[in-house]
Amino acid sequence: MSLPTLYSDGIYKARKPHRCCECGATILPGQEYFRADGLWEGSFDHYKRCLPCVELADEVLEIERAGRVHEEEMTCFGYLFESAHEYGILDEWKRSKAIVTTIKEEPHE
């Protein structure tokens, strides 16, 4: 994917449900999420990421910057997990996320 000719992003508060373009999780109304709008090769696209994926994306970006990866070769939207897996940080992220989201079930009678 080439670099967008127009681009803006930021953290927004969801007014309706959205789907994270990386993990597929539903972003519920009232939750904060990352949104990027841009013009890629002549067409407008919007990408949304849930906050846990934003954290992972920051780590991936740090690794790519440290490794002096060319800007055009950097991870694009929808490919975050592939890069995170390649850099060996995906499993740890999944584990840390599981700790936060684990809900204990009551034992069955």
State the minimum distance, in angstroms, from the CB of residue 54 to Zn ion: 8
Q: Which member of 27, 34, 48, 50 binds Zn ion (CB under 5 A)?
A: 50
What phi and psi, each to the nearest 5 degrees, are found at residue 44? -75, 135
- Work out whether 53 is an interface residue with Zn ion (CB under 5 A): yes
CA distance 43 to 74: 20
- Work out whether 22 is an interface residue with Zn ion (CB under 5 A): yes
- Work out whether 57 is an interface residue with Zn ion (CB under 5 A): no
Span near Zn ion by CB under 5 A; candidates 19-27, 58-66, 72-80, 101-109: 19-27
- Work out whether 20 is an interface residue with Zn ion (CB under 5 A): yes
Cβ contacts of 46-49, under 8 Å, gap ≥ 24: 47/21, 47/77, 47/78, 48/18, 48/19, 48/20, 48/21, 49/20, 49/21, 49/22, 49/77, 49/80
Span near Zn ion by CB under 5 A; candidates 5-13, 27-35, 42-50, 66-74: 42-50
